[in-house]
Structure 1
Amino acid sequence: MKWAGSRWTGLGAVAIAGAVVLSGCSDKKEAKPGPTGSGKPGGATRSSAAYEKRSVPLPVKDGVARLDLTALSRTSGSTVTARFTVANDGKTPLTVSGALGDQLNDPGAGYILSLGGLGMVDVQGGKVYMPLRNGDHCFCSEDIKTLPPGGSQDLYAIFPAPPANVQRVTITAPTAAPLENVPIVTGPVAPVPGQTADAAAAAGGQQRVANLVVTSTGIDQGVDDSGDDRKVNLQSDVLFALNKADLTPRADALLRQVAQQIDKSRGQTVKVDGHADSSGNDAINQPLSERRAQTVANRLKSLVTRQGVTFQPAGHGSTQPIANNGSEEGRRRNRRVTVTFPKPQDPVTPPAGGGPYQYGSGKVLGSGEIRGAAGLRYEINSLHRTGDGLVVLVWTIKNAGGADSPFLQGFERSFMLYGTGPNNRGFTTGGVMLEDPAAKARYWPVEDSLGHCACYGFVEASKSKLAAGESLTVWGLYRPPAGATSFDVSIPWTDHVAAVAKGIPLS
């Protein structure tokens, strides 16, 4: 699809304004945003200092809008203000309201028709910053108009500021493609029309900052990075024989890898927790989990070379499952020993690769049928590094059938397929994995500790199914290790793996 007068990843000089003067709001921390634009044709306010505009598509139910980031600036010691323009380059009206709201099934998520669903991702710091809040409202645009053809609206959001050394972030939204590795500058930002809250008012707002969660799973182990901590889940079926607490020959190589990570970490305390599934009873499971935790702790103590590290073993029986005990895959994942320690220092971040992807370019790296999905097909469009340690997957869902598609909810991570799934969000593409056959590892889209997926969300304002011949381009953010050069892309549909695109190159 061609877009009038713009490229989705084009850069242009757009304003960061001079001083912000808003009467009657700087001393009112309860200030709430008023109307933020007319919905009439027009552009962003310009002034002296320039910011390099970034543009991405914003799919909605009745078409595709354009989302421009026109400013991202530290507007005080504790706030970062983002300014956007949402535009309709098409020939029919677009309803944008709801496409940028927080979609968690959580009272704390706030007003769904605002910009409260935006996330500012600091990869190296392991944090996700969401717009500052005032009760049920955010310090962001809430009155988002229906855009006529050629129409646009200026929007804003004020975030808690990340540490001063954070100079670049990636911005996510439920349906918009990610704004990858964008710079944070310093200076005031011009208010959008009708804005009634500035950085001074927002500085006293409620912060919503979550840990960035990076999860990988494999046959032998899984890794969860959340904030400053790393949890390595070692499968008991690999470490021990049935109902035993003596290490198998395979266990030693795994524990040596974990010991190397502990040596590279900063903390002095390592927790070792034994767990069981719900089969049997805890009269057996509890002491067995304790013995297994102690065995692993003893072996790690002998392998770790760094001085001053202490180990804290504990057993929990079947009381702390991480997956559904109703499936064999879930029970297998629950039989584990978890080793928790401060996350090691990240290696040098790989440079940006072939992106950002040029939306509408027609590039196809792989394609095929989504089995069991009534005529749906996929095309892999891009797999590239962002420059801040993330990898972006861009792919397109196409309805090649002769009738409307089923509801597009089958791409979510499923309890039926993987033994685990999200509890408090709407449907997303969170079940689409990157798989590394050589490392025997698979990588989920990154999430935050509140439950948001850094992937496409099928929200109320987006398409929930496709008419015959229609297509929808979606995305996901991942964080695999730096050394990989290609991945298989695994696409689920409800209760089965419906497609695997083999050997997709990482650029």
Structure 2
Amino acid sequence: MALDRVTPTVVVARWRLHNTTAAEYKVDTMLKAPALDNLLDQNAASALSLVDSVNGNRHFPLSDPYAGCLCTRGAMPIAPGGTLDVVAAFPAPPAQVTTMDVVFPTAPVFLDVPLGSRPAEMLPVTATAKADVNAPTWKSRIRPLVNTVDDPVKSQDDDGKQLSVRLSSDVVFAVNKADLNDKAQAVLKEVAAKIDQSPGSTVKIDGHTDNSGTDAINQPLSQRRADSVKAALEKLVTRTGVTYQTQGHGSGKPIATNDNAAGRQTNRRVTISFDRPKPPAPATPSPGAAPAASGRPLGTAPVGAPPVAHENSWPAKGQVRIDELKRDADGYVSLVWTVRNDDPAKKMNIWTAFEDYRGTYLKSSTEGVVLSTPAARYRLVRDTDRLAVGPLMVGMPLGDYEVVKDEEYTLWGMFKVPAEVTSLTVEVPGFKPITNLPIG
């Protein structure tokens, strides 16, 4: 593949796909993004994206609501043994950015791809049509990335501008009560220290419930809980000039589904939002274990407890192997793993097995996979539209995502992990955890 600035505002990416099978293979449905807005062309390779890891943004192809995507469009069949050239033009990152991570939905992410330079030219978007990258009608679609870290008491969402700390109401409050317990006091000390380092002067505190009960109960309960958190923070934050804004929303602003217990638990929360403190200077990673030699897996694990919704259908025999755990120049980590089914009686459905059934992501990727340490759990990076930086499972043909005996399938995902973390446990639903894997 190639990645080039063709104008100060446009970057063009080019790929060549090879079909090594004996049958025609169509990739167009796997490269089509969900229909979130009119800039995501439903007849084109609109799911391709670039990650500006310096600024924490995800760039989608330039598009025009009427003309379509400035990328390969239409049907994309690849003949047996044949090739297909795919192209897309993206909004360029700032001039000082010299590399980008390239997200091609059907392949592991390409880390730190250098930005070259070449003259602008008409872009071949179909076999018979070309588009002008300099036309003034192309519109940019750039979304901030959100990095989520969980621990037993809270979750922290970081979009590069704001921190949102979500306290689990189940952990810090008694049922239907608004008095903070000892666990809450401990975690609020950590939050207060971050507020002290924040450049902003406003802290927003929002209380939320699930949809159990009535609004007459949920709304005032969520307000009282937000007020309790405010009162605690006012005592713990040491700097002056901070304004606290509280609001109870009841069940009106869910961030997860209310159709299952895990989603309802996620919705029962108090969220504390404030301007992101300036991050500390990058730590020099301490030496860790050497990564596996090229071509050798970092680790393997057998089948474990069945994933959610697969209690009676998950294979009894199989394996996951970790092929790559690698960090880019700015802390984003690419995880690549391969699953194998050794059970002759049951298929391995890799689409639904790796979903996060809480509903905090769009259900289209491998968002149920987690990287962890004893102190934290790192979730798959997503953008502000909740679209994960991982494979796009929605467009996969049925025969691809149902892995039968003796078949293997390789998957991937992107995470954000602090520089001081040099080894991780990989948790793939349906398999036993693989511990102490070094980050390359």
Task: Please point out which of 481, 487, 501 is paired with 2:418.
Answer: 481
Which of residues 409, 415, 433 is equivalent to 1:500?
433
**Partner Cα distance (2:273, 2:50) in 1:** 27
1:327 Cα shift?
3.8
- State the superposition RMSD in angstroms: 3.0
Q: Is the contact between residue 369 and residue 428 of structure 2 (CA under 8 Å) also seen in structure 1?
A: yes
Instruction: Give 1:290 shift.
Output: 1.8
In the TM superposition, residue 404 of structure 1 has moved relative to its aligned partner by 7.1
Q: What residue in structure 2 maps to residue 470 of structure 1?
A: 407
CA distance in 2, matches of 1:359, 1:475: 19
Q: Is contact 1:97-1:113 (8 Å) kept?
A: no
Q: TM-score, normalised by structure 2?
A: 0.85
* Percent of residue pairs bearing the same amino acid type: 35
Superposed, 1:232-311 pairs within 5 Å as 232-311=165-244
Residue correspondences, number: 422
Match of 1:447 in 2: 382
Q: What displacement does 1:273 show?
A: 0.9
* Match of residue 180 from structure 1: 111
Q: Does 1:82 align with 2:19?
A: no
Match in the other structure for 2:245:
312
Q: 1:412-443 CA distances to partner (integer Å, 9 max, x unpaired)?
A: 3243xxx33544x54x222111122x21x322
Describe the shift of the 1:404–1:175 C-alpha distance in structure 2 as closer, same or farther (beyond 3 A). farther
Give the TM-score taking structure 1 as reference length: 0.75
Is 310-319 or 395-404 further displaced after alignment? Answer: 395-404
| SS of residue paired to 1:504 | strand
Aligned to 2:133: 199
Distance 2:294 2:405 in 1: 20
1:274-324 per-position Cα deviation (integer Å, ceiling 9, x unaligned): 122333433333223222212222322333334432211111223222233
Q: Secondary structure at the match of 1:253?
A: helix
Separation in structure 2 between the aligned mates of residue 274 and residue 217 of structure 1, nearest angstrom: 19
Q: Are 1:166 and 2:97 matched, yes or no?
A: yes
Provide, for residues 448-480 of structure 1, a one-character-per-residue CA deviation record: whole Å limited to 9, x for no partner. Answer: 122322112335455222243121111110113
Partner of 2:367: 430
Q: Which amino acid aligns with 1:503?
A: N
User: Is the partner of 2:349 in helix, strand or coil?
Assistant: coil
Residues 123-138 of structure 1 aligned to structure 2 (within 5 Å): 123-135=53-65, 137-138=68-69
Q: Which residue in the other structure is 2:255 paired with?
A: 322
- CA drift of 1:351 comes to 7.7
1:231 to 159, 164, 177: 164
| Superposition deviation, residue 403 in structure 1 | 5.8
Q: Which runs of 5+ in 2 are unaligned?
A: 307-313
1:336 aligns with 2:269: yes
Quote the residue 1:141 is aligned against: 72
**CA drift at 1:170:** 0.9
Structure 1's unaligned 5+ residue stretches are 1-68
The answer to whether the 8 A contact 1:370-1:376 is kept is: no
CA apart distance, 1:328: 3.7
Q: Which moved more, 1:183-192 or 1:120-129?
A: 183-192
The yes-or-no answer on 1:411 pairing with 2:341 is no
SS in 1 for 2:246: strand
Q: Which residue of 2 aligns with 1:119?
A: 49
| Distance of aligned partners of 1:174 and 1:459 in 2 relative to their CA distance in 1, 3 Å threshold | farther
Q: Is the 8 A contact 1:103 1:109 kept in 2?
A: no
Q: Does 1:369 align with 2:303?
A: yes
Letter in 2 for 1:398: R
Q: Distance in 1 between matches of 2:43 and 2:251?
A: 41
Separation (CA, whole Å) in 1 of partners of 2:119 and 2:197: 41
SS in 2 for 1:108: coil
The one-letter amino acid paired with 1:472 is Y
- For the 8 Å contact 1:181–1:388, the answer to whether it is kept is no
